[in-house]
Amino acid sequence: MEIHWSNILETQPIVSKMVMNSIQKNRISHAYLFTGDKGTGKLTLAQLFAMSIFCQKRTSGEPCYQCRDCKRIKSGNHPDLHMIYPDGASIKKEQILHLQKEFTYTGLESNKKVYIISQADKMTDNASNRLLKFLEEPSQQTTAILLTENSQSILSTIRSRCQILSFKPLQPKQLEEKLQEEGLSLANARLLTAVTNNWNEAMEKSKDTWFAQARKLVVQLVDMLQHNPNEVPIFVHTQWMPHFKERIQLQEGLDLLLFWFRDIVHYHLDETSELVFVQHREKIEDASMAWSIIHAADYLQHIMHAKRKLEQNVHPQLVVEQLTLQIQR
């Protein structure tokens, strides 16, 4: 799919406008640092920026997408655009030296040259120092674009020579779509988006067997609260507490429980598009028959109160036992 500035403007309006403005006014800095979570569009914007720099037929900062320069950048074959990725676990000094050597030659297509360093925070100390010397003697026609999820790991002397552009976290719907593009089901993407707005964390949790089991236990607990309340104490003692051993884990379990009862409220309000546990829609519908919207809203308050108790160091099992008793009443 062809990416245009209009697409980037939807997800990253501030940084897009800043970059577009520098292109339109022909005030392109010699070095940029794009910082933000994975999946926020740093590489896409960097490549589009490069295309706009090289395109001979751009209008108002927008590349034509059809000229030789645009096509070669899209195919990854432009001789004056250089991409650097970690070689194994790090970006090494030799990679920066090779880049410098390449830049001593006259541009093949024009005098302009652009290089993009992905995961720039993974540069070794030697590579960072070599890049710093490169940045200290900028060529008028050279543009460096560094990409990172952790700008504090970049040398302060490198940061000071870059125009820093911070990419904002993805909005829930944007993250949900990105996760589905990675092959996750709508159900998994929706739940993970509710749990975190961080792409990396969402992808890690999608592969985490502990989190998968936590989801199952929440569904089992709610089912038991609804249909077999007498079995709840044993379930809490033998299955729930052994899984949610740490306070931070228990907080996560209570968050999932919170989403479930919030889904019941959404179902009562006919807001089914807002359901988090979309794969359990029938169970949510069944639960909404058993618990009114008033009950569900009360239980949400109880869960929030339980989360606060955990922060106040009340004994975890006592917190859960009291909560389940309140929901059974």
- pLDDT, averaged per 10 consecutive residues of the chain (329 residues), comes to 75 91 90 90 92 88 88 89 92 93 68 92 94 83 93 93 91 88 93 87 92 96 94 96 95 96 96 94 94 95 94 91 89
Task: Give the residue among 74, 26, 33 at the shortest CA–CA distance from 50.
Answer: 74
Region of residue 90 (phi > 0: left; psi between -120 and 50: alpha; otherwise: beta): beta
- Specify whether the CB–CB gap between 165 and 178 falls below 8 A: no
Measured distance CA(41)–CA(49) in Å, rounded: 12
Domains of the chain from N-terminus onward: 5-168 (3.40.50.300), 208-328 (1.20.272)
Amino acid at 59: T
Task: Give the residue among 152, 37, 121 at the shortest CA–CA distance from 131.
Answer: 121
pLDDT at site 2: 63
- Specify whether the CB–CB gap between 40 and 169 falls below 8 A: yes
Q: How far is CA 159 from CA 113, 151, 239, in A?
A: 20, 8, 49
Measured distance CA(90)–CA(82) in Å, rounded: 17
> Using alpha carbons only, what angle is made at residue 77 by residues 72 and 79, rounded to the nearest 5 degrees?
100
Measured distance CA(289)–CA(266) in Å, rounded: 13
Q: How far is CA 18 from CA 14, 59, 166, in A?
A: 6, 16, 11
pLDDT at site 107: 54
Measured distance CA(160)–CA(5) in Å, rounded: 27
> Using alpha carbons only, what angle is made at residue 18 by residues 12 and 23, rounded to the nearest 5 degrees?
120
- Specify whether the CB–CB gap between 259 and 277 falls below 8 A: yes
- Specify whether the CB–CB gap between 169 and 201 falls below 8 A: no
Measured distance CA(121)–CA(37) in Å, rounded: 13
Task: Give the residue among 297, 298, 303 at the shortest CA–CA distance from 322.
Answer: 303
CA dihedral 311, 312, 314, 316 (to 10 degrees): 0
pLDDT at site 109: 58
Look at residue 161 and give its three-state secondary structure: coil
Strand partners, 32: 145, 163
Q: Hey, CA dihedral for 312, 314, 315, 317, is it positive or negative?
A: negative
Look at residue 25 and give its three-state secondary structure: coil
The structure's pTM equals 0.66
